[in-house]
Amino acid sequence: MKTFAVIAAVALMGASTVANAAGDAAAGKAKSAMCAACHGMNGISSVPMYPNLAGQKEAYLVKQLKDFKSGARKDPTMNGMAAPLSEADINNLAAYYSSLK
């Protein structure tokens, strides 16, 4: 029973993190101009070395941007691009790109 309680608590914490990450896709679209040079106007990159962002899962995008911002994920360009982003900016960009096909 104790193990079940721990598993349930961890699952609820994870669910609340995802729920708190919900952003405003319209605000994300407005903020996405800085991303377009590498990731394309609609989140589809024309450069093979840059990933497509369109259709990625929102929670994944939030995590990656937070990791770039904190330095947990290292890439000189993305670390610099993510550094000035607020938590709202990150959530909004993730909402926008996850909403694209």
Q: What CATH code would you report for 23-99?
A: 1.10.760.10
State the pLDDT confidence band at 30, using cuts at 50, 70 and 90.
very high
Query: What integer pLDDT is reported at residue 22 of this predicted model?
Result: 87
Report whether pLDDT(11) > 70. no
Query: What integer pLDDT is reported at residue 6 of this predicted model?
Result: 45
Asked whether 81 and 34 are in contact (CB, 8 A), the reply is yes
| pLDDT (average), residues 30-54 | 96
Going from N- to C-terminal start, the domains of the chain cover 23-99
